[in-house]
Amino acid sequence: MRLRQLGEFGLIERIRKATPPGPGVRLGIGDDAAWVECPKRSLLITADLLLEGVHFNLRWTSFYGLGYKTLAVNLSDLAAMGGSPAYLILSLGIPVDFKVEDVEQFYRGIRALASDTGVALIGGDMSAAKRFLISATLVGYAPYGAVRRSGGRIGDDLYVTGTLGDSALGLELLKRKRQKAKRRGIAHLLSRHHFPTARLKAGTLLARERLAKAMIDVSDGLLQDLGHICKASGVGAVVWQDALPLSPAYRNWAGSKGSFYALTGGEDYELLFCLRRRDRARLGKIQKKLGVPIARIGECVPPGEGIKVVNGRGEPVSVPVGGHDHFKPGS
């Protein structure tokens, strides 16, 4: 069935029926506003806008995956503040010739991750649109306060969770089309692109233990997001190229691009944080509980030194401009 046949209220009714009640939700979908409990004193609130043709391409993205990723990217923002997620508001612009089943698949992807992370979908809005548009707002708690971008100091260690560059390399291989997903390792890269993991456990633990003094999620490329930390903290940074955590699949497929995608590719959704050197032993003790490996990739230096990538011999490496800026095409 097409959306134009079902209509807005028919679709809302289907979404409402499929949405389970969530913790703290007094009134979810169905009235003029949602009514929820707020057991903690402070909230973290984050929003993301995803546009067809800009952020995703339906030729190689499934509706299920798109739903999953919509929530994942918002969860990642909360993780980067050390928060824990609670309520989701989802507003959609949908072409009227979309199949209802496709929209339902999208919600299935949302629900799969929502139930894993304790998130309740509590409402939203919708309208007809020329292309698919998704606006998601996630509300969560800050049980240990919020870890900002501004707490880095000269001499801090720089750490990153997981591996870098997989998602951007996966996207690059998708664009080249001829690649077969079955080929060894590509499935891993594609899964990192379509189903990113928000590092919620690591984020809250690093906040609780007061280990992360500045933190950001790597969504627009390591160097660009590191730039945000440096600017907010008033420091420069040195990144050790050899220390970048790369997956076996990445090493296998990056070819002549080397660490390019790891340094500048987007959508890793890993956490980048600053640690005081004196806290190294404490970090070591909780490392296993983070739920993801971490790597020390560099250090904070005086602001005048800017941001440098150096090779194993300590020589500066020049990195082609990368990272993502929506208002600078081709950036």
Residues that bind ligand ADP (CB under 6 A): 12, 15, 29-32, 90-92, 123-126
Encoded one letter per residue, x for contact with Mg ion by CB under 5 A and - for no contact, window 107-126 reads ------------------x-
- For the bound state, the minimum distance from the C-beta of residue 162 to ligand ADP, rounded and expressed in Å, comes to 30
- For the bound state, the minimum distance from the C-beta of residue 22 to ligand ADP, rounded and expressed in Å, comes to 13
Choice between 30 and 306, CB closer to Mg ion? 30
Q: Alpha carbon 156 to chain centroid distance?
A: 24
3-state secondary structure of 28: coil
Choice between 125 and 242, CB closer to Mg ion? 125
Residue 124 binding partner per list Mg ion, ligand ADP, none, with a CB distance cut-off of 5 to 8 Å that depends on partner kind: ligand ADP
- Strand blocks (E) in the chain: 25-27, 35-36, 43-51, 84-94, 120-128, 133-141, 157-161, 214-218, 236-240, 270-275, 294-301, 307-310
- For the bound state, the minimum distance from the C-beta of residue 53 to ligand ADP, rounded and expressed in Å, comes to 20
Choice between 11 and 212, CB closer to Mg ion? 11
Site residues for Mg ion, window 182-241 (CB under 5 A)? Answer: none
Give the number of residues in contact with Mg ion, rule: CB under 5 A.
Answer: 1
Residues whose CB falls within 8 Å of the CB of residue 146, separated by 6 or more in sequence, listed in order: 42, 44, 81, 82, 83, 207
- Give the tokens for residue 255: 């070819």
Choice between 27 and 38, CB closer to ligand ADP? 27
- Torsions phi, psi of 236, nearest 5? -105, -175
Give CA–CA dist 124/151, Å, rounded.
Answer: 35
Choice between 19 and 241, CB closer to Mg ion? 19
- For the bound state, the minimum distance from the C-beta of residue 290 to ligand ADP, rounded and expressed in Å, comes to 33
Residue 160 binding partner per list ligand ADP, Mg ion, none, with a CB distance cut-off of 5 to 8 Å that depends on partner kind: none
Residues 66, 71, 72, 76, CA torsion sign: positive
Contact residues toward Mg ion (CB under 5 A) are 125
